[in-house]
Structure 1
Amino acid sequence: MPGNNKSSKGLLIALTIICIWLLSFVLLMQWHFSFKNPLAYLAVFWMMHLYTGLFITAHDAMHGTVTHDKKVNTIIGQLCTALYAVFPYQKLYIKHHKHHKNVHTDDDPDFSEKGFLGWYVKFISEYLSWWQIVLMAIIYNLLKLWISEANLLLFWVFPSLLSTLQLFYFGTWLPHHGEHTNKHFSRTQSKNHFVAFISCYFFGYHYEHHETPHLPWWKLWKTKSVGH
């Protein structure tokens, strides 16, 4: 029974993030905003954070930590990657586990010896394909039939792009660039749970994630030790 409760909690958290993203998307697509309104730019970062939440939820699904039901776990992962940018979940699943198995080596799809920009481009190219770009362009042009282009750009396109930078910076660049002396070739954010959540759903506690990949993002803060 305790295991079922934990599984239900993880699924509830995942569904909450998905529902908040969907509700925010629907409302913001209907908003007759002004570019002079500072709330519009706050909404961009709100959506960016929710996009990151979608990806982090998919990431948990890849580790089987959303729910103990494998089929439901996969469905949640597929839904989140589809909403994020029609990413093929299985491709991300394979590459992410390859990252954990071969971290900081030539076989690590997330690793590069290039500088920040070059690494970011390489990181994106590992996961983005031309058919995705074409499909997203089709979806964009279809949505334009009913939704203002300004709303689409400001609250759909830009937040998703910013989210890729957020995920890369806090989840790949900061923890994995440079030299390392630990077995996970990873550093970690200083212990500040508020900052860790706001920055990337505790994903900055990256050494801890590699040490305990079986834990969902919302439990990761509990593993944070003073020593790292």
Structure 2
Amino acid sequence: MAISQTISKKVDPKGLIIGWSIIILWAISLIFWLNIDLDWKSPLTYLGILIQMHLYTGLFITAHDAMHGVVSSNKRLNHVTGWIAAILFSFNFYWKLFPKHHEHHRHVATDQDPDYHPSGNFFIWYFSFIKQYVTFFQILLMAVTFNILKLFLPTENLIVFWMLPAVLSTLQLFYFGTYLPHRGESDNVHHSKSQSKNHLWAFLSCYFFGYHYEHHDSPGTPWWRLWQVKEQQTADFR
């Protein structure tokens, strides 16, 4: 059953506020964690890693929403926000991500889908996914930036709170936003599965992208309103 598109007819101006809130929170949080005394015996260290991982994922989700034009109705502001969010996530390049993501939407779970791997094997699929998006130039920029930053900041903090959460975030995005929704057979037009309705877990796991069928059915709905699409779908099936 197709989900009504009425939820996403207009670009909500709150999208820009939410997008920039994530960017600013990521920056403030990173500055804080980079300047603390790292203590592996403290649960605060592990909490910091998880917080930064989640905020990195938020950066990508913001860039993703910009690719769908739902961060701002001002196209330039929409794309600039997406570009900044992407570049802060380990120098991802927005205009490289943009066409690949739309290829994914056009050719879901086919050999033309850059996010898909027919093996279904988690590790093979993950490395195939990473190869699509990570470039040598990106790694070079990370290395140069790391070597500059370590002149001013503790090396261990940089690794633990700047680099490690970014890697963990790719696993979070892949597992909840690609692997679970698209593995195996799906007998619907979007070849996508969706997690059961649990809005708190859906947000914590991947900014509601576990509601993946709903995203493909209503790509013009920003991440922070996908729970409404899920509610509507649930009501339609009652």
Shift of 1:72: 0.2
Partner of 1:25: 30
Partner of 1:174: 180
2:195 aligns with one of 176, 184, 189? 189
Give 2:149's aligned amino acid. L
| 8 Å Cα contact 2:33-2:157 kept in structure 1 | yes
1:70 aligns with one of 72, 75, 80? 75
In 1, the alpha carbon distance for the partners of 2:90 and 2:118 equals 27
Shift of 1:89: 0.5
In 1, the alpha carbon distance for the partners of 2:35 and 2:85 equals 22
In 1, the alpha carbon distance for the partners of 2:89 and 2:118 equals 27
Residue 144 of structure 1 pairs with residue 113 of structure 2: no
In 2, the alpha carbon distance for the partners of 1:14 and 1:206 equals 20
Partner of 2:165: 159
Alignment of 1:102-117 (within 5 A): 102-114=107-119, 115-117=121-123
In 2, the alpha carbon distance for the partners of 1:24 and 1:135 equals 22
In 2, the alpha carbon distance for the partners of 1:216 and 1:7 equals 9
Partner of 1:129: 135
| 8 Å Cα contact 2:11-2:70 kept in structure 1 | no
TM (normalized to structure 2)?
A: 0.92
Partner of 2:227: 221
TM (normalized to structure 1)?
A: 0.96
Cα displacement string for residues 74-112 of structure 1 (whole angstroms, at most 9, x for unaligned residues): 000100010001111111000000000011111000010
Shift of 1:6: 5.6
Partner of 2:61: 56
2:49 aligns with one of 37, 44, 48? 44
Aligned-CA RMSD value: 1.4
Moved over 6 A (4+): none
In 2, the alpha carbon distance for the partners of 1:133 and 1:14 equals 25
In 1, the alpha carbon distance for the partners of 2:11 and 2:173 equals 26
Shift of 1:35: 1.2
In 1, the alpha carbon distance for the partners of 2:142 and 2:184 equals 35
In 1, the alpha carbon distance for the partners of 2:106 and 2:38 equals 47
Shift of 1:150: 0.9
Cα displacement string for residues 51-76 of structure 1 (whole angstroms, at most 9, x for unaligned residues): 00000000000000001000000000
Partner of 2:5: none
In 2, the alpha carbon distance for the partners of 1:113 and 1:137 equals 33
Give 2:23's aligned amino acid. I
How many residue pairs match? The answer is 225
In 1, the alpha carbon distance for the partners of 2:184 and 2:123 equals 15
In 1, the alpha carbon distance for the partners of 2:55 and 2:219 equals 22
Higher relative contact order (Cα pairs below 8 Å, separated by 6+ residues): 2
2:209 aligns with one of 203, 209, 213? 203
Structure 2, unpaired ranges of 5+: 1-7
